[in-house]
Structure 1
């Protein structure tokens, strides 16, 4: 058995289905970022533990969660509210947690959009770290999301999980990615000023995770990024095979990339304190976090 953390913020439309999918575990912990809707009310109807903590960033929220809320079991799984646990994945997680050679596992997502699985243009299988031994993994911020730091070897599971990325409607998706693009613009400036491209990982990385991260660092330095991203996703990855949903998905991702570029320009040229704040943030903590992540994360295929 393993514990399941569920991260939430204004997830009243998804939280019930998410919890119900996770109830194969006898220890479910809902960590809410002070929602203003009925998320906590709905979650409290189930036999789960509910905690609230003001959101600072994805990495810090996960770190606070792992340090402040002890799980019942040695192994834990992180589940987002718009994701689902499946019986097949749960069984494989139970089996994987018995392997003493690994301290964490990556799981591939199946992006669901417009009632379709976006099989091709999402770089499937696209892995995220989800299952790990408590106390052996922590997180740092990277752009709008986070990157894990693992104290030991990691592996990959065969089963996948569905991710209903637009389950709360297109308006919510656009609002969320408007916020995300600000963080990605900050990370873009940081990478252009101080970051590097790991060419070795790009071509001969041991895993999809290493290659994808190196590709992202390279993409930040390419011209016409929105157009290149659309062409890469729709033609090179085969997004055209995802039908109408694939066309919409690739178009939205190109728009998101363009929004990031516009905010980078704004931070560089508009008379606002944005750029100074970015520089201060970079000087304070980001170099250590980036170096730590690159030096200690180990990824091995199973």
Structure 2
């Protein structure tokens, strides 16, 4: 058996279905970022632990969670409210933790948008660190999201999980990606000024995770990023095979990329006082919503 952490913020529409999908575990912990809706009320109806902690950033929230809320079991799984645990994935997780060769496992998501699986436009299989031995994996901030730091060998699971990335409506998606673009613009400037491209990992990386991160660093340096991203997703990845939903998804991601570039320009040219105010607002509003599909 393994414990399941569920990260939430204003997830009253998703939290019940998420918890019920995770009830195969006997230790579920909802870590809420001080929601203003009925998330905590709904979660409290279930025989689980519910803990609230003010949100600072994705990496810090996960680190605080792992340090401050001891799980019942040695192994833990991180689930977000707009994702679901499946019986097949749960069974594979149980089987994986019986092996002692690895300290963590990456799991691929299936992005669900406009009532269908976006198979081609989303770099599938796109892996995230989700199942790991408690105390052996930590998280740091990167752009609007986080990256894991693993103290040991890792591997990959075959089963996947559905991610209902727009389950709360397009308006919520646009709102959160407006916030995310500020963090991504900050990370873009930092990487261009101080980062490098790992060319070896880009072409010869041992895993999808290594290659994708190198591609992310390269993409930050390319001109006309919104157009390149649309072409890459829609034509090279085969997004056109995802039908109408694929076209909409690729267009939204190109728009998101353009928004990041506009905010990079703002950060370079606006007065420092304006930037400080903008940064403060972003830090106040950023919460643990569903992640966007990008190269990170």
SS of the residue 1:231 aligns to:
helix
CA distance in 2, matches of 1:272, 1:264: 14
Q: How many Å apart are 1:271 and its aligned residue? A: 1.1
Q: How does 1:63-212 map to 2 (within 5 A)?
A: 63-212=63-212
Give a deviation string over 1:224-277, Cα, whole Å, max 9, x none: 000000000000000000000000000000000000000000000011346689
Q: Given the two structures, how large is their TM-score scaled by the length of structure 2?
A: 0.93
CA distance in 1, matches of 2:232, 2:150: 31
CA distance in 2, matches of 1:266, 1:160: 39
| Equivalent residue number for residue 228 of structure 1 | 228
* 8 A Cα contact 1:267 1:274, kept in partner: no
In the comparison of the two structures, how many residue pairs are matched?
A: 279
CA distance in 1, matches of 2:105, 2:163: 18
Which residues of structure 2 form unaligned runs of 5+? 279-296
SS of the residue 1:156 aligns to:
strand
CA distance in 1, matches of 2:196, 2:9: 34
CA distance in 2, matches of 1:208, 1:24: 29
Q: 1:85 to 1:31 in 2, by over 3 A?
A: same
CA distance in 2, matches of 1:64, 1:225: 35
> Which of 122-131 and 266-275 deviates more?
266-275
CA RMSD of aligned residues (A): 1.4
Q: Given the two structures, how large is their TM-score scaled by the length of structure 1?
A: 0.91
* 8 A Cα contact 1:268 1:275, kept in partner: no
CA distance in 2, matches of 1:247, 1:57: 31
Which residues of structure 1 form unaligned runs of 5+? 279-302
CA distance in 2, matches of 1:91, 1:209: 24
Give a deviation string over 1:70-127, Cα, whole Å, max 9, x none: 0000000000000000000000000001110000000000000000100001000000
